[in-house]
Structure 1
Amino acid sequence: MGLATARILGRDHRVVISDVNQQRLDEAVTELAALGIDADAVPCDITDRSSVDALLARASEPGPVTAVVHTAGVSPQMGSAETIMRINALGTVHVTEASLAVADEGFALVNVASIAGHMLPGFLIPRRAYRLALTDLEKFARKMTAAASRGPKAMRPGSAYSLSKNFVIWYSQRQAASFGARGARVLSVSPGSFDTPMGRLEEKSGAGKLLDYAALKRFGDPAEIAELLVFCASARPGYLTGTDILCDGGTRAGLGLRGMIAMARGD
């Protein structure tokens, strides 16, 4: 999704792309160059605040950063509950705080959440742990991992993913006033099942099953979500902030309580 977004943004903006993996970065730069896009590539580990600060500092060298599209994250098949929480939740805090530090009039931060964040029953949402993100990040990470680790071991990565993405939605809304004080915006976008390597990795673990409930019976194309991310990051929706946009092919609209229970059970 990030690369698809860079393909569009790079048509008329200077683009800085980032990844924790240098090889993926090199491949992305080569692909963008073939499209006539001269992208600057900076390695970054979003679980390390100093690494994120260095990324924003590098991006700011030629001039002010006007937008950040934060697509980094991992899915349940890609790590333990703790790993998922530190990347998806703690990493989002680091990116958001670093973005706020450089935000100016007209700036926009778009965090990528997930339909999974919309599927948690209210009683399972640890809002007290969420609020720790504002005061004590290490305690926040521990409490969030503990919240995801209450059920059977096999279900913990999935729980961590849903919790982390629900947090991204909450946190983006919570930070809207801070960004607004600078004349800037922050919001989240929640994709459903998309035809990306991560989406296909999760196809048999739920992403494919979601299509049974969708209005559009197919995986989304990365270019489709990229168009939305680019629009949100642009100046065009200048009054759009503190909210989440669900882009899921109508999946959540067709997924009632019975369907959510079936998904949770793996039926």
Structure 2
Amino acid sequence: MSRLVAEKLALVTGAGSGIGREVCRVLAREGANVIAADQNIKTVQETVATLEGAEHIALNINVGDRNSVETAFKDVVKQFSKPPTIIVNSAGVARANFLTKLSDSDFDDVINVNLKGTFLIMQIAVKAMIEANTTKDSSIINISSIIGTRGNIGQSNYSASKAGVIAMTKSASLEFGQFGIRVNTVLPGFIETPMTAIVPDKVKEMFMKRIPLQRFGKPQEIAEVIVFLASNRSSYINGTSIEITGGLN
């Protein structure tokens, strides 16, 4: 059976853990060369060590910093003689607190990584694709969150950043469609990752009651949908958001 993204070059941010790491694994399994990017180089090197196939690299990147992103893309184009045509924006942070107690720095950090980081990666990636004439059949997948549509207590900054990702994805899909670049977003629900490991048991129980499948999701269950969106199997899906929540209500 042919592999979904054979010979494609994919860049995944936030690839050092959780959903990002799993996306790298599934992309590699389906034939892509993977650039695993994260601000923690040690954890992405660990990710790369677990991938099938040979042509994968670990890359240090700070998504909220334009210079860091531009340098990373220059290095990738130099090494592979082409830009990546699959982009997965998985880098994300959470700084939970009640709105009245939320500090400016916790607000800014979350917006800077989750929203501005997604913007910078998209902008610089698409410029590189246009320059290299590799836009046809390219795919960008942004990771939002179901919290971006529902809100959540203690997560006004996170929910705002993830709502922003949904809106920005729609706008980007309108601008990039003419080049043959599709842009979609996935909205995970409660997934077992390092980010959710710190959630108090009481809150977990509250969420569990609202999930018809009566379990939390696994990173691979998000990754499989992302790789489908990266492949030509989803060639007419553009500008949309896919909820992956177990039916969370």
CA separation in 1, counterparts of 2:198 and 2:142?
A: 21
Trace 1:232-243 onto structure 2 (pairs within 5 A).
232-243=229-240
Shift of 1:209: 2.5
CA separation in 2, counterparts of 1:177 and 1:227?
A: 25
- Find the counterpart in structure 2 of residue 47 from structure 1: 64
CA separation in 2, counterparts of 1:203 and 1:68?
A: 33
1:9 aligns with 2:35: no
CA separation in 2, counterparts of 1:179 and 1:69?
A: 16
Work out which of the residue numbers 161, 184, 196 in structure 2 matches 1:199. 196
- Find the counterpart in structure 1 of residue 139 from structure 2: 108
Structure 2: runs of 5 or more not aligned: 1-18, 98-104, 130-134
- Find the counterpart in structure 1 of residue 111 from structure 2: 85
Q: 1:190 to 1:205 in 2, by over 3 A?
A: farther
Q: Would the aligned equivalents of 2:83 and 2:125 in 1 still touch at CA under 8 Å?
A: no
1:98 aligns with 2:124: yes
Q: Would the aligned equivalents of 2:64 and 2:112 in 1 still touch at CA under 8 Å?
A: yes
- Find the counterpart in structure 2 of residue 25 from structure 1: 44
Shift of 1:203: 4.8
Bigger helix fraction = 1
Paired residue type of 1:15: V
Trace 1:248-259 onto structure 2 (pairs within 5 A).
248-251=245-248, 254=249
Shift of 1:38: 4.3
Q: Would the aligned equivalents of 2:25 and 2:50 in 1 still touch at CA under 8 Å?
A: no
Paired residue type of 1:112: I
Q: 1:56 to 1:214 in 2, by over 3 A?
A: same
Q: Structure 1, residues 146-193: CA drift from partner, whole Å, max 9, x if none?
A: xxxxxxxx94xx100000000000100011122112111111101001
- Find the counterpart in structure 1 of residue 12 from structure 2: none
Q: Would the aligned equivalents of 1:68 and 1:109 in 2 still touch at CA under 8 Å?
A: yes
Q: 1:212 to 1:242 in 2, by over 3 A?
A: same
RMSD over aligned CA atoms reads 2.1
Shift of 1:102: 2.6
- Find the counterpart in structure 2 of residue 221 from structure 1: 218
- Find the counterpart in structure 2 of residue 76 from structure 1: 95
Q: Would the aligned equivalents of 1:15 and 1:38 in 2 still touch at CA under 8 Å?
A: yes
- Find the counterpart in structure 2 of residue 119 from structure 1: 150
Percent identity over paired residues: 31
Shift of 1:37: 5.0
Bigger strand fraction = 2
SS for the counterpart of 1:3 is helix
Q: 1:206 to 1:59 in 2, by over 3 A?
A: farther
Q: Structure 1, residues 69-101: CA drift from partner, whole Å, max 9, x if none?
A: 110001234981221111111111111211221
Q: Structure 1, residues 6-47: CA drift from partner, whole Å, max 9, x if none?
A: 111112111110000122122222233xx4554201100001
